[in-house]
Amino acid sequence: MSEVTLARWQFGITTVYHYFFVPVTIAMSMLVAIMQTRWYRTGEDRYLRLTKFFGKLFLINFAMGVVTGIVQEFQFGMNWSEYSRFVGDIFGAPLALEALLAFFLESTFLGLWIFGWDKLPKKVHLATIWLASLGTLLSAVFILAANSFMQNPQGAIYNPLTDRAEMADFIAVLTNPVFLVTFPHVISAAYLTGGGFVLAVSGWHLARLNKPQRTQQENKDVSAYRWSAKFGAWVILIAGLVVLISGDFQGKVMYQVQPMKMAAAEALFHTEGGDGTMAEFSLITIGNLDGSQEVFAIKVPGVLGLLAKGDPYAKIPGINDLRDAYSRGELLDENNQLQQAYAEKLRTVGIDDWAPYVPVTYWTFRAMMTLGFIGIAIGAYALWVLRKGRLPKSGVAWSALMATALLAPLFGNSFGWIFTEVGRQPWIVAGVLPTASAVSPGVSAGEVLATMVLYTLIYGALAVVEVGLMLKYARAGLPAEVAPVEIKGEDDVLSFAY
């Protein structure tokens, strides 16, 4: 395999792995903050126990997010040095701002939250988890702004003297339409996952506690888990609604700025719609092996036009026609200064195929949507099961359903990102820099392969540890909690220590 292919695999593996921990961190930090706020307001013991319980699960997850995240920041320079040099003037700033505004905030205040139970006044301690949570959101702002530049490079110009993209308008970078629709989609998808997490763990315990005779302590546990299960389910439903709406907006922006990705998402080979006809939305399309042609398909007329443009009769360009248009040098966005300015240089570079690999783009798009819908459906069903004081029946079916409540949105996130990034190909910066031109010329394929194998081994081993701990602590359930006391004497035992 070439260095480009290997570097892409390495980025894919490390990023997808990292992103198992990101949505849980983003959502759980705030869900735990809400639980602690409930405790602060009501003084009810169950909210404190829930805070401690889910807080611990959140931290097991957070540790992995931190260590796998460092790899991401270094990887741009290590594997993609020409990319880093070429777009650093625009792309570097959000990364630096992410570290300065977001990472400091979340790491420092999480440290204060974990160890500060007996050292800070209640109100200040509550503020620390909210600030850490704010840090995770800020982090998403900057990294999504950076990623959106790769999908739709606006706010930049090409400088032939330095042969690189240079910042022209920072506000335009931060108000990129791709960013504006991606941010709510990514954040709400994170909350869909976090809601699924809380529901899954709480729902599993509720079924376990659904028995004729319960001790007083068990009744207290049921009261806590009922609240958290319903809370998780409501988070799923609200987040799910935002996922759907923002996803619809994303489709329309994608049609505008990345028509090829839209066509590949639908395996639409020939242009459809326009002239009073309707473009068909593919329910299922089987293509030939290289993904250049359709073999069998079930389609619904009009839906694709609605998705892309809000008009069932809209004309949706197909992959083959877009490919032709790109190879003729057309189709770059005429309002995009960077694409226009770089077009001449691009002709000297050359591109093998102007379309992404269709089967991956097509199926990940469907996997994302299907898993998202499954997650939302489970949330709604769980609310129905829990209505009016009812408890779920324990059994394999309920356990599997609860596991799916977490795993469906979690993997839905992964597929969404694989779709977004594979669908961007063959570009690393859409319409400007081909991925193949972006790798580090000084790094050998062997080096990339060796480190990729080692990353995979370490990540695999850590996954075993992380999942093991997660299951152990999720099963252990709510701690028997007493409110923390402020330490007075020098030799008093700390209420929290590693």
Partner 1 sequence: MLPLAVEPTTLQIVWFCLIAVLWTGFLVLEGFDYGVAMLIPFLGKSEKERRVIVNTVGPLWDGNEVWLLTAGGATFAAFPGWYATLFSGLYLPLFLILFGLIIRGVSFEYRAKHPDARWRTAFDWMACVGSFIVSLVFGVAFANFIIGLPVALAEGSNHLHVYTGGFWALFSPFALLGGVVLVVLFLFHGANFLALKTKGIVHERAEAFGAKIGLLAIVGGAIYLIWANVAYGFGVLGWVLTALAAAGLIASWLAVRAGRDGWAFVATTATIFVVAVWIFIRMWPNLGFDNAASALPLDRVTAASTELTLTIMTGAAVVFVPIVLAYQAWSIWVFRKRISTKNIPDEVVTVA
Choice from 161, 295, 396, 464 touching partner 1 (CB under 8 A): 161
Closest to 383 in 3D by CA, of 409, 403, 405: 405
Q: Which residues contact 461 (CB under 8 A, 6 or more apart)?
A: none
Closest to 253 in 3D by CA, of 305, 170, 179: 179
Q: Does 18 bind partner 1 (CB under 8 A)?
A: no
CB of 244 to partner 1, least distance (A): 34
- Interior angle at CA 316, CA 371 and CA 320, nearest 5: 95
Whose Cβ is closer to partner 1: residue 48's or residue 181's?
48
Whose Cβ is closer to partner 1: residue 70's or residue 300's?
70
Q: Does 496 bind partner 1 (CB under 8 A)?
A: yes
CB of 6 to partner 1, least distance (A): 13
- Of residues 168 through 197, those in contact with partner 1 by CB under 8 A are 168, 170
The span from the CA of 153 to the CA of 147, in Å, is: 9
Q: Does 488 bind partner 1 (CB under 8 A)?
A: no
Whose Cβ is closer to partner 1: residue 37's or residue 72's?
72
Whose Cβ is closer to partner 1: residue 78's or residue 245's?
78
Other Cβ atoms less than 10 A from the Cβ of 215: the count is 9
Q: Does 100 bind partner 1 (CB under 8 A)?
A: yes
- Interior angle at CA 28, CA 100 and CA 51, nearest 5: 115
Whose Cβ is closer to partner 1: residue 228's or residue 250's?
228
Choice from 36, 246, 364, 440 touching partner 1 (CB under 8 A): 440
Q: Does 56 bind partner 1 (CB under 8 A)?
A: yes
- The neighbouring-strand residues paired with 299 are 282
Q: Does 107 bind partner 1 (CB under 8 A)?
A: yes
Element (H, E) at 433: strand 433-434
CB of 14 to partner 1, least distance (A): 10
Which one of 105-113, 192-200, 204-212, 426-434 is the stretch in contact with partner 1 (CB under 8 A)? Answer: 105-113
The span from the CA of 362 to the CA of 266, in Å, is: 6
- The neighbouring-strand residues paired with 316 are 272
Residues listed for the chain: 498
Q: Does 492 bind partner 1 (CB under 8 A)?
A: yes
Residue type, 79: N
Q: Does 59 bind partner 1 (CB under 8 A)?
A: yes
Q: In sequence order, what E strands does 243-402 have?
A: 280-287, 294-301
Choice from 96, 298, 380, 453 touching partner 1 (CB under 8 A): 96
The span from the CA of 31 to the CA of 112, in Å, is: 18
Choice from 313, 447, 449, 456 touching partner 1 (CB under 8 A): 447
Whose Cβ is closer to partner 1: residue 246's or residue 337's?
337
The span from the CA of 389 to the CA of 229, in Å, is: 12
The span from the CA of 217 to the CA of 458, in Å, is: 41
Structure tokens at 283: 């329910």
Whose Cβ is closer to partner 1: residue 120's or residue 383's?
120
Choice from 109, 342, 362, 398 touching partner 1 (CB under 8 A): 109
Which one of 283-291, 339-347, 384-392, 446-454 is the stretch in contact with partner 1 (CB under 8 A)? Answer: 446-454
Burial of 192 (0-12, 13-18, 19+ CB in 10 A): buried
Which one of 320-328, 336-344, 383-391, 440-448 is the stretch in contact with partner 1 (CB under 8 A)? Answer: 440-448
Whose Cβ is closer to partner 1: residue 18's or residue 226's?
18
CB of 116 to partner 1, least distance (A): 6
- Of residues 225 through 254, those in contact with partner 1 by CB under 8 A are none
CB of 326 to partner 1, least distance (A): 24
Q: Does 164 bind partner 1 (CB under 8 A)?
A: yes
CB of 119 to partner 1, least distance (A): 6
- Of residues 130 through 149, those in contact with partner 1 by CB under 8 A are none
Element (H, E) at 427: strand 427-429
Burial of 273 (0-12, 13-18, 19+ CB in 10 A): buried
The span from the CA of 128 to the CA of 126, in Å, is: 5
Choice from 5, 37, 44, 92 touching partner 1 (CB under 8 A): 92
The span from the CA of 401 to the CA of 199, in Å, is: 10
Q: How far is CA 469 from CA 200, 401, 462, 494, in A?
A: 16, 21, 10, 23
| Structure-derived torsion over alpha carbons of residues 103, 120, 469, 218, reported in degrees to the nearest 10 | -140
Q: Does 495 bind partner 1 (CB under 8 A)?
A: yes
Choice from 12, 34, 45, 108 touching partner 1 (CB under 8 A): 108
- Of residues 70 through 89, those in contact with partner 1 by CB under 8 A are 70-71, 73-74, 76-79, 81-82, 84-85, 87-89
Give the torsion sign (CA, 440, 445, 451, 455): positive
Q: Does 60 bind partner 1 (CB under 8 A)?
A: yes
Choice from 110, 189, 260, 436 touching partner 1 (CB under 8 A): 110
Choice from 40, 227, 373, 473 touching partner 1 (CB under 8 A): 473
The span from the CA of 127 to the CA of 121, in Å, is: 10
CB of 303 to partner 1, least distance (A): 42
Structure tokens at 119: 């050292």
Element (H, E) at 487: none
Q: How many residues bind partner 1 (CB under 8 A)?
A: 83
Which one of 24-32, 103-111, 270-278, 410-418 is the stretch in contact with partner 1 (CB under 8 A)? Answer: 103-111
